[in-house]
Amino acid sequence: MIVDKDFVIATIDERLYGSFIEHLGRAVYGGIYEPGHPSADERGFRKDVLSLIRKLRVPIIRYPGGNFVSGYDWKDGVGPLELRPSRLELAWRTIEPNRFGMNEFVDWSKAAGTDVMWAINLGTHGVEEARQIVEYANHASGSYWSDLRISHGYKAPHAIKTWCLGNEMDGPWQIGQKTATEYGRVAAESAKVMKLVDPSIELVACGSSGKFMASYPEWEATVLDHTYDHVEFLSLHSYYGNADNDTETFLGRSLEMEDFIRSVTATCDYIKAKKRSKKTMHLSFDEWNVWFHSNDADKKIEPWQVAPPQLEDVYTMEDALVVGCLLIALLKHSDRVRMACLAQLVNVIAPIMTENGGDAWAQTIFYPYMHASVYGRGQALVPLVQSPKYDTKEITDIPYLESIAVYNEEANEVTIFAVNRDLKHSLPLEVDLRSFGGCRVLEHLVLENDDLKSTNTARQPERVAPHSHGNAIVDGSKISASLTKASWNVIRLSLN
């Protein structure tokens, strides 16, 4: 691997390491919010969960959905608790008690040290609701909705700067599903009024729900035809699974993520050319993760419960390797993917799990996500890699080495993220940092386990956890290491 400090992909937008919390399952109730829990503060926020989230340094969190948002009336979740209604929540067929809403989430986000990415309802609601919610959240005072916020105990505006214009509006599962033209029109008109209220906000238009949609990528092109001048981002969503227990193919799914990013980028640039625009459309990969473990269990859940255990994937060492590869894929395309959200953050396909009334712990995927967020700040550098490759029935030319380097000029550090996809053999790695001069190894973190199906639990929360006994050494401007089989590696280097 050759790394040159002048071959820069992009300065990484810290929002690349965002996450997502939806009113789904136990993400909110029993996850981040559980009044009466031994660790809960006076607002009902679980401090044990907050402690884990702070370790992740999550810069932004998308909320309140997800499919949930297309049937959600945000006004149900503000004001006195005793006046808030319980509703049938149709997206996931549960009861939503509305004990937790916008103001609670803003308070919680401040406690977690993160910003808010708010998704508005463009399924059952529309332009007028879009105007009202931005006025409530961001206008200082002197109008009906801003004064209503003040009456709820929040004199200062919330100043939410990032907003999603609906969620997966092409999906037949979505409440208020729309054609590309129907959605493009309402999104454009909503964007206009939202920016009339607050011109400083940034907006994300809905892309396809995934590459599997029959309308992809025509949906993107049509939506952007209507919204290109009004939004800053187009969204991408994709989840990856291993239901067939084919680990080698599973580890190659990040190549599919890269192909997805390239094709959406090309569609954006086509519309840019068509409109003779000078603006470059950026991407928000605001739902991505491994998701498949909980599918059978979710089919057995009885409807109309409050916060049942939905989408509670228990992640393996194997999943952590895939998440590491997906993070590297995002970094490789950080010139266009400026925001991303690991979906989700707590309990629901999440790096953090909790027991109601009990413990909180880090799942296996917590660690590559934490390492990338903490050490992956700065400039992503072009990775010139020579690696042996392998083929599977579905994917060809999968490199055994998946890697990238990040240069943090302020800290005077280079960090190398690397996954060895080889399931049987260690991989000798040599990194040439010729343009950086001398350096020394600060640490070489390794996440590995002989059992790729190993998981963390409340009783064994560190069965899969990183160690700092990696073997990277320096000889001048060259770094050598042996990457153990099926491992995630973080090599941190201090520059002379």
Last residue of a domain, one of 377, 400, 429: 377
Domains: count for the chain: 2
Q: How many whole angstroms separate alpha carbon 448 and alpha carbon 480?
A: 19
Is the residue at 6 inside a domain? no
* Domain shared by 342 and 426, yes or no: no
Nearest alpha carbon to residue 415 among 381, 384, 465: 381
Is the residue at 21 inside a domain? yes
- Residue 476: the pLDDT is 85
Residue 438 belongs to domain with CATH number:
2.60.40.1180
Is the residue at 383 inside a domain? no
Q: Which residue has the tokens 């790729």?
A: 452
Is the residue at 382 inside a domain? no
* Domain shared by 335 and 423, yes or no: no
Domain extent, residue 252, equals 13-377
Is the residue at 172 inside a domain? yes
* Domain shared by 367 and 408, yes or no: no
Residue 63: strand pairing partners: 118
- DSSP letter for each residue of 404-426: EEEEETTTTEEEEEEEE--SSS-
Q: How many whole angstroms separate alpha carbon 420 and alpha carbon 416?
A: 13
- Residue 68: the pLDDT is 98
* Domain shared by 59 and 176, yes or no: yes
* Domain shared by 405 and 335, yes or no: no
- Residue 394: the pLDDT is 95
pLDDT in tens, 143-192: 999 999 999 999 999 999 999 999 999 999 999 999 999 999 999 999 99
- Residue 200: the pLDDT is 98
pLDDT in tens, 424-474: 999 999 999 989 988 999 999 999 999 999 999 999 999 999 999 999 999
Is the residue at 1 inside a domain? no
* Domain shared by 318 and 433, yes or no: no
Last residue of a domain, one of 338, 356, 377: 377
* Domain shared by 65 and 168, yes or no: yes
Q: How many whole angstroms separate alpha carbon 113 and alpha carbon 57?
A: 7
Residue 211 belongs to domain with CATH number:
3.20.20.80
- Of the pLDDT bands very low, low, confident and very high (cuts 50, 70, 90), residue 195 is very high
Residue 460 in tokens: 């064994």
* Domain shared by 432 and 373, yes or no: no
Is the residue at 288 inside a domain? yes
The catalytic residues are 168, 287
pLDDT in tens, 110-133: 999 999 999 999 999 999 999 999
Quote the percentage of the chain above a pLDDT of 90. 99
Residue 168: strand pairing partners: none
* Domain shared by 365 and 334, yes or no: yes
pLDDT in tens, 266-324: 999 999 999 999 999 999 999 999 999 999 999 999 999 999 999 999 999 999 999 99
- Of the pLDDT bands very low, low, confident and very high (cuts 50, 70, 90), residue 88 is very high
Is the residue at 17 inside a domain? yes
* Domain shared by 339 and 473, yes or no: no
* Domain shared by 230 and 278, yes or no: yes
What lies within 8 Å, CB to CB, of 154 at 6+ separation is 103, 106
* Domain shared by 125 and 86, yes or no: yes
The answer to whether 444 and 481 are in contact (CB under 8 A) is yes
- Residue 355: the pLDDT is 98
